[in-house]
Amino acid sequence: MSGRILIVDQVPVNRIILKVKLSAAHYDVLMASTANDALKLARREQPDLVIAGLGTEDLSGIELCARLKSRRITSRIPVLLTGVATGPQERIDALKAGAEAFVAHFEITPPTKTST
């Protein structure tokens, strides 16, 4: 394996898609649906990278990043936050929390049907 990556996202489909893509690239992938589970996994498994969505049911991705960076055992693990950014403040907050990067994506909404 090339390295170990911890994926943290409350949306199961997001975790699965990332796991499939990263596993195909020969990464060992760990997954968590909550920030508390991610903190436990990060301490125990010491991943080479954490990719986290902006929010889980228990903490925001920014708060998760801050907690990872505040603990000596996990402070050196790079964190990549990803999510739908509503403005520049999320990026600023992510970087202040210690994230190495914030990757914004757009929310895709299905087209609405129009009556004819």
β-bridge partners, 102: 81
Q: What token pair was written down for 51?
A: 């990719």
Among 51, 74, 48, CA closest to 61:
51
Q: What token pair was written down for 81?
A: 């936050």
Q: What is the reported pLDDT for 1?
A: 52
d(CA 47, CA 113): 44
Full set of structural domains in the chain with CATH: 4-105 (3.40.50.2300)
Q: Could you read off the pLDDT of 44-78 as tens digits, one per residue?
A: 999 999 999 988 889 999 999 999 999 999 999 99
Is 110 or 100 the better-scoring residue by pLDDT? 100
d(CA 103, CA 94): 10
User: Where does the pLDDT of residue 12 fall: very low under 50, low under 70, confident under 90, or very high at 90 and above?
Assistant: very high
On the question of pLDDT at 23 being above 70, the answer is yes
d(CA 5, CA 66): 18
CA 83 centroid distance within chain:
8
CB burial readout 67-82, b (16+ within 10 A) else e: bbeeeeebeebebbbb
Q: What is the reported pLDDT for 77?
A: 98
d(CA 49, CA 38): 12
